Amino acid sequence: MNHMDVLEAAKSLLGPRGEVYGSPKDNFKRIADIAAVILGREVSEYEVAVFLLSTKLGRIPNDPSYRDSYVDGINYLAFMAEFSDGVLK
């Protein structure tokens, strides 16, 4: 698994997934709204990205060679950075 290939795969997924799911901000907001109902508190788009990254990190030990976990994890980190305004100081 070449690191540049993993990064390229992560980037290449964003266009097609955006066409299916809509903009990341809108999609993560919908997820946050659903999570807020379940948890009984407000949930931010940033937190959604953290939860999704946690899912990928939790799966890696089961199959460390499964590239999808790394590819999606990179994208969730990128979304965390995008949604971090006002969260990180």
pLDDT value of residue 13: 84
pLDDT value of residue 39: 97
Please name which of 65, 26, 70 lies closest in space to residue 45, comparing C-alpha atoms. 26
Kindly state the helix (H) or strand (E) to which residue 88 belongs, with its residue range.
Answer: none
CA distance 25 to 68: 22
Spell out the per-residue pLDDT of the chain, length 89, in tens.
Answer: 789 999 999 989 887 777 888 889 999 999 999 999 999 999 999 999 999 999 999 999 999 999 999 999 999 999 999 999 877 65
pTM for the structure as a whole? 0.86
The structure tokens listed for 21 are: 């799911």
